[in-house]
Structure 1
Amino acid sequence: MDEIYESLPKQTIFCIDMKSFYASCSARLLGLDPLTCYLAVVADTNRNGSVVLAATPKLKADFGIQTGSRLFEIPNDPRIHIVNAQMKTYLQTSVEITNFFNRYVPMECIHTYSVDESFLHTDGTERLWGDAETLAKRIKRDMFKEFGLTCAIGIGPNMLLAKLCLDVEAKKAGIAQWKFDDVKKKLWPLSPLSKMWGIGSRLEQRLHRIGVRTVGQLANYPLDQLEKKFGVIGNQLYYHAWGIDLSDLGTPMLEGQISFAKSQILLRDYDREGEIKHVILEICEEVARRARNEKKAGRTVRLGLGYSKSERRSGFYRSQTIAEPTNITMDIYEICMQLFKTHYNGETVRKIDISLSNVCDDTHTQLSLFDMSKPERKKLGYVMDQIRERYGADTLLRAVSYTKAGTAKHRSTLVGGHKA
């Protein structure tokens, strides 16, 4: 593998994560120090069961309040500030931080991975700012001076190692750098596998079934067998386990895993079958719309139901693959209903996940002799999308969205899933 390392492009990639970004922004708005104050950002301060979206480091350390905690779990302590999410402010700050990065590298060398995380390609800036560690320290210092915000920076020879360096080491150390020589010592012991960027819980379970539980075991598994079991994903998994990533800045880490998904934590427990079906239909509409926006269609539909804490079971996740790809809402809904009928037994539901995968270009879909209405139904979906894009997301809603169970009408008023 040393010969392969020698032949790879020599790059310097920064992966920058804003620490407790939402909570820190809210703290600064109140004139508080994000590092010393007790502050929680929640979805809605008027709902006792509202989810905690972010918490300052001191609140996490001293009171054990984490992202995902509930409002009623926060102690009644006068030192603790509880605020609503302000998504417009967070998004605007994220844009300002991107412009801040542009002082150090050209805009085309910046990839905004999420609201609070970015990649920077810093090659060619050494004469201006010094080596990678010097530049990282400068960015941290200048960011705190200008925005009052802190960050962690992982440095690597590609996006993959920069991200893994950030998650495994830099989030504790502040700044860390990994090179190919560090892969065996720092990356291979990584476990569980879901800590590896690009490996989700389902893929992790499949790897467990072949006896792979650490990145080192993945790196030493026969490549031909991985390719036989996982296809092109197996090839990428193998080389990623060796720290090799040839993707350009901003491209997906595992290209074969493209899917369209929507996950929603419900505002309350849903124990009526009809109400659960109403929300499933709304989410199918959103998943289908996302696929149509990318001119894609998929063959595999996955339904997941997360149960309330009052239930003994955590829920289920099941999928079904169809012969012809689709991005039609009612096609996806009918498959979800088949899965729902088979696996749902009357439990109280608090979370719903739906995804469309096994994706291809929508232009590749064929006319079915058994469903002559499909072209018209597909065309109708695109027309509805255009109307919503022009006049607003709540312009056209299904009737279920106006029932007590519906959530789409409320969500249309949110930014990024939360209050603006």
Structure 2
Amino acid sequence: MTGTIFHVDLDAFYASVEQQDNPSLKGKPVIVGPQPGNRGVVSACSYEARRFGIHSGMPVSRAARLCPQGIFRPVRMKRYLEISEEIMKELADITPVFQQISIDEAFLDLSGTERLFGPALQVGRMIKERIADRFGLTLSIGIAANKFLAKLASEYEKPDGLFQVTEPIEFLDRLSLKDIWGIGEKTLDRLAELNITSIQKLRSFSRDILCSMMGVAGGRYLYLAARGMDPGIYSDHPRSHSISSERTFARDKKDRTAINKTLLELSQQIMHRLIVGGWQANTAVLKVRYEDFTTTTIQKTLKHYLTSSDELYRVALELLRKKWNGSTPIRLLGVGTTQLLRPGSLEQGELFEDRDLKRRKVEQAVTELKEKMKGLKLTKASLLETKDRCG
């Protein structure tokens, strides 16, 4: 196997940002989400909170019962995106072969760079030190010959981990089936019914037999995963024709609040990349992969160019309603835009700017200010507490 792929994963990112911005929270169980007594789920939590059994997607009412001393902080997505953008720039400076896959994760391809940068583990330590020194945050890095193994490796010694896979089969055999990225509860149940209880046993089956038992897509995925071969969990997209971002869930999800939150994060990332890249697009694309590995893609072309992350999010929600029954677990969500063009004048007949176009101009102005004035913090007034707005 060849290649040197890094998977970089910021540890408990939202909660860690809250602790870094407010040092009095360090070492304490921080829970990011609505205050107890309100409906909603946990968006993220610190490792101190995880010791109480709290995890993302959990109702805040249950989190409050498990950890009465937990400190609940509201979601500050603009702040997380701001920090994420700066960290991703640092990572992208290391290698031009860079793929951000979520607000707190990225792949770096450092194949063939050992003479330039040194051994992979040395580069990993350098990255961790650089991010810790500048941002005060820890991250975990997995290093392997492909993205799939690198992703598993970053989870292996979390938090603040650094692990390189040199013997893929030996590494996989240390893990349990539930540790394999992309294998959800329904797949585990089906494998248990077939008396397949370990990765070693899974690997003993041929591709044809697995496909006959698990379906063509599922069988192929399991066959490749058990052998440390990348089943294609993250794909690259031609940037000249489209911009997209995907999220593969560690466990299949059907919680509507968590799924909507993911759509919002993806929409914000895509709109930011459109603005920074100087692109405009009028076609939104939604990709959904269900628990049985079947995948569907749907798109909508508007009569005008997408103008804000809010608008892209609304369109993505509309497309999701057409493709999801609300109960079938989802393993992957993707949002994208196609038919990219450079900005021009208003379309013929559009004599007046609508509200969404004004929103795009505001978002573009904010982006430009952040580029010019590093460290500048800008927050929507609607996200500020009443006392902050009223003085």
Give the alignment's TM-score, normalised by structure 2.
Answer: 0.59
Aligned to 1:309: none
- Given that 2:6 and 2:144 are in contact with CA atoms closer than 8 Å, whether structure 1 keeps it comes out as yes
Change in 2 beyond 3 A, CA 1:198/1:263: same
CA distance in 2 between counterparts of 1:115 and 1:330 reads 22
SS of 1:23's partner is helix
Once the two structures are TM-superposed, the CA of residue 37 in structure 1 deviates from its matched residue by 3.5
Give the alignment's TM-score, normalised by structure 1: 0.56
Which of the numbers 125, 128, 153 marks the counterpart of 1:165? 153
State whether residues 207 and 220 of structure 2, in contact with CA within 8 Å, keep that contact through their aligned partners in structure 1: yes
Aligned partner of 2:195 in structure 1 is 211
Q: Secondary structure at the match of 2:20?
A: helix
Contact 1:41 1:53 in 2 (8 A): yes
Does the 8 Å CA contact 2:221/2:231 hold for their aligned counterparts?
Answer: no
Matched, 1:241 2:233: no
Aligned residue pairs, count: 285
For 2:218 and 2:320, locate their aligned partners in 1 and report how far apart those are by CA, in whole Å: 28
Q: How far apart are the structure 2 equivalents of 1:335 and 1:101?
A: 35
Out of 34, 39, 42, the residue aligned to residue 30 of structure 2 is: 39
Check conservation: 2:15, 2:44, Cα contact below 8 A: yes
Kept in 2: contact 1:158–1:246 (CA 8 A)? no
What is the aligned counterpart of 1:153 among 124, 141, 145? 141
Cα deviations by residue, 1:101-127 (Å, 9 ceiling, x for unpaired)? 023212xx2111221121111123323
Identical positions, percent? 28
Aligned to 1:307: none
**Structure 2: 5+ residue stretches without partners:** 238-245, 261-282, 301-317, 332-353, 360-381, 384-391
User: Which of the numbers 10, 21, 26 marks the counterpart of 1:29?
Assistant: 21
Which AA in structure 2 matches 1:171?
K
Cα deviation for residue 174 of structure 1 reads 1.2
- In the TM superposition, what is the alpha-carbon distance from 1:265 to its structure 2 partner? 4.1
Measure the CA separation in 2 of the matches of 1:65 and 1:295. 30
- Please state if 1:294 is matched with 2:285: yes
Query: Among 73, 89, 94, which residue is 2:84 paired with?
Result: 94
Does the CA-based 8 Å contact 2:225-2:231 persist in structure 1?
A: no
- Shift of residue 13 of structure 1? 0.8
Instruction: Confirm whether residue 220 of structure 1 aligns to residue 204 of structure 2.
Output: yes
The correspondence for 1:83, drawn from 73, 87, 107, is: 73
Instruction: Decide whether the 8 Å contact of 1:113 with 1:250 is kept in 2.
Output: no
Question: Could you tell me which amino acid in structure 1 is paired with residue 84 of structure 2?
Answer: S
CA distance in 2, matches of 1:85, 1:356: 23
CA distance in 2, matches of 1:391, 1:246: 42
The answer to whether the aligner puts 1:177 opposite 2:164 as a matched pair is: yes
Task: Tell me, yes or no, if the aligned pair for 2:13 and 2:104 is still in contact at 8 Å.
Answer: yes
SS in 1 for 2:106: strand
What is the 5 A alignment of 1:103-122?
A: 103-106=93-96, 109-122=97-110
Q: How far apart are residue 203 of structure 1 and its match?
A: 2.9
Q: Secondary structure at the match of 1:176?
A: strand
Shift in alpha-carbon separation, 1:334–1:119, aligned structure 2, 3 A: closer
Q: Distance in 1 between matches of 2:323 and 2:182?
A: 30
Give the AA of the match of 1:122: L
Amino acid at match of 1:39: V
Letter in 1 for 2:95: V
Q: Tell me the equivalent position of 2:267.
A: none
Counterpart of 2:132, as a letter, is F
Amino acid at match of 2:32: V
| 1:156 CA displacement | 0.6
Structure 1's 13 and 33: CA in aligned 2 closer, same or farther, altered over 3 A?
farther
Query: Is contact 1:15-1:166 (8 Å) kept?
Result: yes
For the residue of structure 2 that corresponds to 1:171, the secondary structure is coil
**Secondary structure of the structure 1 residue equivalent to 2:122:** helix
1:163 CA displacement? 1.0
Query: For residues 355 and 58 of structure 1, what CA distance do their matches in structure 2 show?
Result: 29
Number of the residue aligned with 1:202: 186
Q: Which has the larger radius of gyration?
A: 1
Aligned to 2:9: 17
State whether residues 298 and 319 of structure 2, in contact with CA within 8 Å, keep that contact through their aligned partners in structure 1: no
The residue number in structure 1 matching 2:346 is none
Distance in 1, Cα, partners of 2:207 & 2:319: 41
Q: What residue identity is the alignment partner of 1:159? A: K
Helix, strand or coil for the counterpart of 1:47? Answer: coil
Inter-partner Cα distance in structure 2 for 1:331 and 1:74 = 33
